[in-house]
Structure 1
C-alpha cells in the first residue's frame, strides 16, 4: 500500500512531536517526550533502561527480567539455539521446551548476550587523526584508530568494545559491553504458537503469536549471573493510549543516505537481492521436500529467507514510490542549496554529494566481482570457518593497527568463541547451500571469468560442493582450534578441502576488498561525514542518527491505525486466536493450546501495536511503561512499516508486540511454567508441582 510520507527526517530537521526516531542514550529527547506525553525520563531512568536491556546474539534484542540472569527475547531470535539443541528424536522447535529446574536448563552451543555498560564520545579523536586525509591514508588511519581505541577499552575477555559510526561518520562513539557467553535455554513454546500464521501473517496485523523465549545467563562460576538492573513486570500491561518505550538494537536504517545512494539501492542492490533470495527460498523449499529430517534442519533457514524477502520487497516498494522519492530529492536539493549559498559552507561541503555519487558509480563497476569474491559468492558455514582460519593466520602476526577489521586484539575473544562453537553442521544442507552459491557465482561472472575457472576448474558446482564438504573436517571444533593455534604453518600444511579453497581464493578476495575499501568505502565515509556536518551546521545537532545495530530507545503509544479506509484496533485477544485456528499449517494451534482453551480468559489481550519507531533488529525488544515495567514484547512491525528504513510515518507505521498479560496467561495456564512466573512476579504463584517438561 503506497502512501505519501511527509517526514521531518527527510529534510534533516528534528521531528516536531511525531513519535519518530531511534535515539541514542546520550542524546535522548526527554523534553520532547514530556511535551507530548507529560513524562520526562531522567538520566537515572535512562541508565536503568540501558543496563536492563541486552543484545541477543548477532542481530536481535532482549531484556533482563530477573535478578538471577533471566533474559526474555523472541522465539524466532532464539531459533538457532533451539534448533542446535534439537535432534531428530527430540525436536524442540516443534514440541517446545521447559526446564522444570535450573539443572535442566540447556546450554546454547553458540550464543552470546551482551549489556551496554558505557558510552564514550570519541569524535574528536577521529577528527584529529583523519584531518586532511583521503583515500587509502584515510581508510588505514580510521581502521588503526578504531583498533587502538577498542583494544584499550577491552580489558578482559568479559568485555567487548566497538567503535560505533553515527550520522554517516558525523559522530563516533565507543560502546563498552559486558559479555555473557554461557547462555542456557529455559523456556520456548512450540513453533506452531510462536509463529502462528507463518509467512502469510508475517508483517501483518491483526496477529496472534506467542513469539517468546526465555534464556538465562550464567557467570564463569557456573551459577546464574547476578543482575543489578532488570525490568520488573507490569501489574496489568499496556492500555490504549499509554506511553510506551522500546529499548532495542535496530539493525539499520538509511534515512540519512544521499539520493545517489538510494538510487543504487533502488536500481541495483534491492532488485538483485530479491532475485537471489527468491531463488534461495525455492532451493530451500525443495530441500525441505526431501524428507522430515531435511525439513527439520532447514526450517530456520527457510524462516529467515522468507522474512528477509518480504522485508526487502517492502523496502523496494517504498523507494519505487515516485512521491516518496521526489521528497528525498527535494530535501537533498534544499540542503545543497543552503550549503552553496554560503561561500564558506560551499568550500567545505559543496563537493561531498558528487563525490559520494562518483563512489557509488565505482561500486557499480566492481559489484559483481566484489560479491563473488568477498561477499556471498561462496557460502556455507564450513567455508566461513575456513576463510576465518586462513585470514587469522595471515592477520594475527601483523601489528594490531594493520589488521583487517574483525581480527583485532579487541575482537579475538569473540572470534575464538565463534570457532569453538559446538553447534551441529549438516553436510547435506551445506552441500545444497554451497551448490547454490557456486551456481549463482558462475551465472553472475560467466563461465569464462578467471575467478570462476580458478574455483570450479572442470567441476560442476554440485560436484565441487560435494567434494569440498566431504573433504572437510571443519565441522569439528577441535580441528578448528588446532588450525587456529597452529597459525600459518598449520594452514599451509592442511589438506582440508575447504581450507585449500579458502587459501586459493583469498588473494583475489583481498584484492577486490582493498579496491572497495579505498575507492568506494573510504570515499563514501569521508564525504558522508561532510554531509552530516553540513546538516549539523544548518539544522543543529538535535537529530537522531540512522540505526546501526546498537542500542537505541524509541518512544510512542498504544494506538490503532487506518488501513484501506478501515480502522485497525490496537489489540487482539487470546480468545480470537482460536477463531483463526484451521488445523492446517501455518494456522494450526498446538495441542497444548487446544487442551487449555477452556481454562484461558478469552478477553486477555494477545498482540498489540504501538507507534514506536522500530526496524529489523528490534525483535526481542521489551515494550516498557514510564515506570520501566514490562508491558509487552516486540516481535514484528506491520507491512506499512517496511519502508521504515527510509522514513517514518506515524499515521500507519506500527510496532507489533505480545502483550505482557498474554505471556503470563500462557505461562500459567498452558505451560504450567510456575518457576518462570515466580521470577517475573515474585509471590504471584502458589508452590505447586510443575507440569512435565516438553
Structure 2
C-alpha cells in the first residue's frame, strides 16, 4: 500500500488541501470548489442536495431518486433486509428481487431511512452549561443538556429524531433534526453474484465490475409512497474522466483529529484486538455455514460483514504501524503544542490537555478487558433485546435528563422500532454466536474472574447459550411488546431465561460503564474540546471535523492513479465484466447476465473512481455532478483509501462507484425493470417484458 503524504489531515488542524475533506453542510468550502473547479455551490444548491440525501439503516447512506419516495443504496447496505425477507424457498440474496407492481413491494422488517431536515449550532449552550466542570459533574451535565435539547427538538413527534452531534472532538456541537421513514419496502435487488462480483478478493480493489445497488421505497404514515419533492434526477450522460463530482453521504468515523496517545492505543491494542477476534469469528461463521445449505443462507450476511471488517481494519492497522507515517503524526502534534506553549494564555488554558488524554488512555488500558467483555454484550440478538428491555424498564422510571444515553425520550422511538422489529431470529445461529461470545469472555477475563463465575456458574458457554436461547420467548414480538409496556414490574416478574440473564449481569455492566463514562470518556471529551479550541485559535475555522456518522459532502473529480508504477484508468467497461467470469465463485456471473451478454453494449461504463474523500459509512452515497444529477453510486474505496481513517492522499485515495449508465443498462437489458426505469428516467419505453428470473 502506498503510504500517505504529509497533508493537512495529518495535522488534524490546518485547512485541508486538494480534494480533502468530509465537510458539514453548514461549513462547506464553496469558494474553494469554485477556485479549483469553476463551480460554486449556492446555499440553495446545498439545501436541495442535503434534503435529497438520506441515512440508510444504522450505518449506510442513500438518496431519494424520485418524487415518490424511491431510494437508492447499495445491495450490501440492504443485505440485512433482503436476507430477512428471504426464505429457504425464496432466496432473494441469491436470486434477486423485483416488485413488478407497487403492491409487490415488501416491507423491510427492521429498516429506517432518515432525512436531515435542519441543523442548529448549539455549541454556546452546551459550553455555557459545562463551563468549569470536570469528571462526573461534566459528564452528567453534558448528558442532561443534550437530552433537554433533543427532547425539545423532537417535541413528542414519533416520525422525528433529534441528535446532538459532537464535532471537532467537542470543539463544536450541532443539533440535527431528522424526518424518519419507518415503513421502507424493497423494490429491486440484483443477485448477490453481480452485486458482489469478485467477492473478498476484489473487495477494496480496482478495477471493479460490480452492480452493487438496491432500490427501496419510503412510505408515509397513510401507507402510500412518501412524497419527496427534493430528489436527485438522473444524468443523461453519466460520469466521464475529469468531471467534477460530489458525494453526499454518512461517513462513519475517522480519527484524523485524535491525539498521538489515542492513536498509540489503537495501533498497539485496539486494532490488533479487533483483528484477532474477527479472525476467530470468521472461523466460527465458516464452520456454521458448513453445516448445511440453510445454515449458509441465514449466516451469509454475517460472514460478509466479518470479512469486510477484517480487510478494513487491516488497512487501518497497516497505516498506523508505518513508522514514517506515525512520525508525521507525532511531528504535527508537537508543532501544535509548541504554538500553544509559546503563548502563556494559551498554555494555561490548553497546555495540559494532551497529557490528560494520555492519562485517560492509560486508565482505559487498565479496565479495557472488563469494559469490553462486561458492557460489550454477549453476541446474541436475543440477549441484546433482553438487555434493552431490562435497561428500558429501569431508565424509563428516571427523569429524562438522568437517563442513560439512548433511553431518553428523544431516542425512545428509534429504540422501540429496533426492539419491535419483525426480523426473523435463527436459534441455531444465535446459539453459535452466543457460545463464541461467552467463550471469549471467559478467555479474556479468566475462569476465576468474579463476573465469569457469576455469568457461567457451573455451566459451559455452549450449555448456557443453548439453555437460555432455547428457553427464551423473546423471538415472539408479542412477548417483547408485553414486557416493554409492562415496564419494571413485568421485567422483574419475568421467568424468561434471557431476561433473567440480562438482569443478572446488568449491575456489573452498569458499574463498569459508569467508570468509563466518568474517568475516561468525560476526561477525553473535555480535553479534546480544549484541543479543538486551540486548533481554532492557531489555524482558524476553515477546517473540517472528523467523520461522525452524520451527513457530509465531499468534492473531487473522476481521475485515475498510479499503482506499482502502472497507470490505473478511472473507468471500467461492461464488456470486461464477462472477461473476468470464470464460472466459479466469486467470479461467477448470474444466469441473467450471461443470457443478456449479447444485448449489452461492451463499451457501457461499469465502475469508476474519483478523488472524493470518503470512509466506511459512505456506502450507498450518490455521486452527483454540478447540476445535482446522479452520475454514480458509491460502493467502495480502493485499498489505499483504508488508511483514510487517519489521513488523505489525493494521489492514490479513491472512491469506487457504479456508473449511472451501468445501472440504467442493467435495469433495462438484464432485468427489464421498466417500473424503476420510468421513475429514474421518465419517458423510458421498455421493449421486453420483465425478466421471469426476478
TM-score, scaled to structure 2? 0.99
Whole-angstrom CA distance in 2 between matches of 1:283 and 1:588:
25
- Asked if the contact 2:15/2:539 (under 8 Å) is kept, the reply is no
Note if 1:373 corresponds to 2:374: yes
Whole-angstrom CA distance in 1 between matches of 2:383 and 2:427:
12
Whole-angstrom CA distance in 1 between matches of 2:4 and 2:64:
39
Q: Secondary structure at the match of 1:63?
A: strand
Q: Give how far 1:168 is off.
A: 0.1
Whole-angstrom CA distance in 1 between matches of 2:459 and 2:536:
56
Whole-angstrom CA distance in 2 between matches of 1:169 and 1:635:
30
Note if 1:157 corresponds to 2:158: yes
Q: Which residue of 2 aligns with 1:422?
A: 422
Note if 1:58 corresponds to 2:58: yes
Summarize deviations over 1:190-227 as a string: whole Å, max 9, x none. Answer: 00000000001000000000000000000011100011
Q: Give how far 1:686 is off.
A: 4.3
Whole-angstrom CA distance in 1 between matches of 2:674 and 2:684:
9
Whole-angstrom CA distance in 2 between matches of 1:281 and 1:253:
25
Q: Which residue of 1 aligns with 2:566?
A: 566
- Asked if the contact 2:671/2:690 (under 8 Å) is kept, the reply is no
1:491-640 correspondence runs (5 A): 491-640=491-640
Whole-angstrom CA distance in 2 between matches of 1:331 and 1:687:
60
Q: Which residue of 2 aligns with 1:242?
A: 243
Q: Which residue of 2 aligns with 1:47?
A: 47
Gap change, CA 1:516 and 1:17, over 3 Å in 2? closer
Whole-angstrom CA distance in 2 between matches of 1:12 and 1:502:
41
Whole-angstrom CA distance in 2 between matches of 1:312 and 1:116:
29
- Asked if the contact 2:143/2:405 (under 8 Å) is kept, the reply is yes
Gap change, CA 1:4 and 1:174, over 3 Å in 2? closer
Gap change, CA 1:405 and 1:13, over 3 Å in 2? closer
Q: Which residue of 1 aligns with 2:301?
A: 300
- Asked if the contact 1:17/1:32 (under 8 Å) is kept, the reply is no
- Asked if the contact 1:99/1:693 (under 8 Å) is kept, the reply is no
Whole-angstrom CA distance in 1 between matches of 2:500 and 2:21:
47
Q: Give how far 1:2 is off.
A: 4.0
Q: Give how far 1:412 is off.
A: 1.1
Gap change, CA 1:256 and 1:17, over 3 Å in 2? closer
Q: Which residue of 2 aligns with 1:287?
A: 288
Whole-angstrom CA distance in 1 between matches of 2:541 and 2:569:
37
Q: Secondary structure at the match of 2:623?
A: strand
Q: Give how far 1:380 is off.
A: 1.1
- Asked if the contact 2:592/2:693 (under 8 Å) is kept, the reply is no
Whole-angstrom CA distance in 1 between matches of 2:146 and 2:107:
33
Whole-angstrom CA distance in 2 between matches of 1:456 and 1:16:
52
Whole-angstrom CA distance in 1 between matches of 2:520 and 2:54:
33
Q: Which residue of 1 aligns with 2:168?
A: 167
Q: Secondary structure at the match of 1:523?
A: helix
Q: Secondary structure at the match of 1:589?
A: coil
Q: Give how far 1:691 is off.
A: 3.3
Q: Give how far 1:338 is off.
A: 0.5
Whole-angstrom CA distance in 1 between matches of 2:95 and 2:688:
23
- Asked if the contact 2:12/2:256 (under 8 Å) is kept, the reply is no
Q: Give how far 1:114 is off.
A: 0.3
Q: Secondary structure at the match of 2:479?
A: helix
Q: Which residue of 1 aligns with 2:474?
A: 474
Q: Which residue of 1 aligns with 2:133?
A: 133
Whole-angstrom CA distance in 2 between matches of 1:539 and 1:691:
58
Whole-angstrom CA distance in 2 between matches of 1:232 and 1:91:
32
Q: Give how far 1:692 is off.
A: 3.2
Note if 1:101 corresponds to 2:101: yes
1:300-379 correspondence runs (5 A): 300-376=301-377, 378-379=378-379
Q: Secondary structure at the match of 1:635?
A: strand
Whole-angstrom CA distance in 1 between matches of 2:236 and 2:447:
64
Note if 1:206 corresponds to 2:212: no
Q: Give how far 1:689 is off.
A: 4.0
- Asked if the contact 1:66/1:231 (under 8 Å) is kept, the reply is yes
Whole-angstrom CA distance in 2 between matches of 1:3 and 1:329:
16
Q: Give how far 1:11 is off.
A: 2.3
- Computed over aligned residues only, the root mean square deviation of the Cα atoms, in angstroms, reads 0.9
Q: Which residue of 1 aligns with 2:413?
A: 413
Summarize deviations over 1:434-479 as a string: whole Å, max 9, x none. Answer: 0000000000000000000000111110011000100111111111
Q: Give how far 1:382 is off.
A: 0.3
Summarize deviations over 1:385-434 as a string: whole Å, max 9, x none. Answer: 00000000110010000000010000111111111110000000000000
Whole-angstrom CA distance in 1 between matches of 2:285 and 2:13:
44
Whole-angstrom CA distance in 1 between matches of 2:501 and 2:173:
37
Note if 1:382 corresponds to 2:366: no
Whole-angstrom CA distance in 2 between matches of 1:313 and 1:228:
42
Q: Which residue of 2 aligns with 1:117?
A: 117
Greater shift in the superposed pair: 481-490 or 12-21: 12-21
1:480-491 correspondence runs (5 A): 480-491=480-491
- Asked if the contact 2:7/2:17 (under 8 Å) is kept, the reply is no
TM-score, scaled to structure 1? 0.99
Q: Which residue of 2 aligns with 1:77?
A: 77
Summarize deviations over 1:527-553 as a string: whole Å, max 9, x none. Answer: 000000000000001000000000000
Q: Give how far 1:688 is off.
A: 6.0
Q: Which residue of 2 aligns with 1:142?
A: 142
Q: Secondary structure at the match of 2:142?
A: helix
Summarize deviations over 1:135-173 as a string: whole Å, max 9, x none. Answer: 000000000001000000002111100000000000000
Summarize deviations over 1:217-239 as a string: whole Å, max 9, x none. Answer: 00011100011100000001001
Whole-angstrom CA distance in 2 between matches of 1:523 and 1:15:
27
Whole-angstrom CA distance in 2 between matches of 1:191 and 1:4:
34
Q: Give how far 1:41 is off.
A: 0.3
Whole-angstrom CA distance in 2 between matches of 1:693 and 1:271:
44
Structure 1: give runs of 5+ residues left out of the alignment.
none
Q: Which residue of 1 aligns with 2:253?
A: 252
Summarize deviations over 1:611-661 as a string: whole Å, max 9, x none. Answer: 000000000000000000000000000000000000000000000000000
Whole-angstrom CA distance in 2 between matches of 1:465 and 1:340:
55
1:389-468 correspondence runs (5 A): 389-468=389-468
Q: Secondary structure at the match of 2:438?
A: helix
1:25-40 correspondence runs (5 A): 25-40=25-40
- Asked if the contact 1:107/1:184 (under 8 Å) is kept, the reply is yes
Number of residues paired by the alignment? 693
